[in-house]
Amino acid sequence: MMPRNEQLAAYSDHPRPHGRIVRERRFYRAYGLTIASEVTLPELERATPGAADVVIAVGPIDLPKPSSDAATEFRFEPDRQYLAWHAVGAFLISDGCRIDVEPAPGVDDTLIAFPLLGPVMALLLHRRGLLVLHASAIAVAGTSAIFMGDKGAGKSTTASAMIRAGHDLLTDDVVALDLANPGEPMIVPGFPQIKLAADAAAAISLGEAEVRPQVHPAIDKMQHRLNGAFSGNNVPATRIYILKRGEKAAITPLPGIAALPAIIKFSYVTRFGRAALPSDLAEVHLRQCARLADHVGVRRLEVPTGLDRIGEAVDLIERDLATGRWRS
């Protein structure tokens, strides 16, 4: 994992390009990092100003922007990664410790935050040496459940049902794992927000959660900012559940030969294609996925169709976690 970048403590004194609007810089905490950001991020927990691990700055980025036809532009270099969406803006990650942001015309921080805290943050965490999964994670009495699956499988819905049952969110959408100790992978907590479709939110009440305004008409999930029910500490990775729809709740252990491909499939960096994983990083990534498969129980979880039966899956998960860590 990348060490703390102490020289960023003086970040607020850096000179500004002529004509650039000076934005207020706020400090936040997420994924074990102190983040100094010129983008307002109410999704994150506030932190005391000080030395920053990551700087998020708003200003021009001198790289080609995608056209309305192309929609996206991705470029991957050893020390810089560039992600741009025509309708949102451009993001340049440098050395795993800085993100420059150039919003598209008329786009505000609310929409900028959507990719910034999703794929952009996932790629930055990957470059800092963490294994990042496209998943949701819940802390359960010193153990944890990671939910992975294809789009629409119910990752956030199942995680929300676990929260309603009294357990704590670790992270939603971007699950970062620290494998510094290969024998005990740890989930690094993200921030206290979970995204839910309207039908799931209506069926699964999250108590005092603050529902934030819809980000964009094309984005159907609403952001629920939790008040409590969030674990701010690293938790050992205990189980990974690959979600499938089924007639009844059921859990089936996956053998190692099936577990490793599943972890690779749902690792976040693979969404960007082969260009994001040059040979040296591809080797490290494969080794990380293999370590996780070796030390965490990977299981197929069938979730009954119909939100009124989600409790059946929750009961099964709780009993499975209570049996202790499973090894192949």
pLDDT at 259: 94
pTM: 0.89
Question: Please, what is the average pLDDT of the chain?
Answer: 88
Q: Which of 93, 121, 115 is nearest to 103 (CA)?
A: 115
Query: What token pair was written down for 211?
Result: 């529902």
More confident residue, 10 or 275: 275
pLDDT at 257: 86
- AA letter at 272: F
CATH architecture of 131-322: 3-Layer(aba) Sandwich (3.40)
83 pairs with which residues across the strands? Answer: 74, 91
Residue 133, class by beta-carbon neighbours within 10 Å (0-12 exposed, 13-18 middle, 19+ buried)? buried
Per-residue pLDDT averaged across 54-63, rounded?
97
The C-alpha angle with vertex 141 and arms to 212 and 302, in degrees rounded to 5, equals 70
- Residue 220 and residue 88: Cα distance in Å, rounded? 16
Answer yes or no: is pLDDT of 21 > 80: no
Pairing of strands 33-37, 45-46: unpaired
- Residue 233 and residue 285: Cα distance in Å, rounded? 24
Query: Per-residue pLDDT tens for 123-133?
Result: 999 999 999 99
Per-residue pLDDT averaged across 305-324, rounded?
89
Domain-by-domain residue ranges, the chain?
Answer: 6-127, 131-322
Token match 């927990």: residue?
45
Query: Per-residue pLDDT tens for 103-121?
Result: 999 999 999 999 999 999 9
Query: Per-residue pLDDT tens for 224-283?
Result: 888 888 999 999 999 999 999 888 999 999 987 899 999 999 999 999 988 999 888 899
CA dihedral 309, 312, 313, 317 (to 10 degrees): 160
pLDDT at 312: 93
Query: Per-residue pLDDT tens for 158-193?
Result: 999 999 999 999 999 999 999 999 889 999 999 999
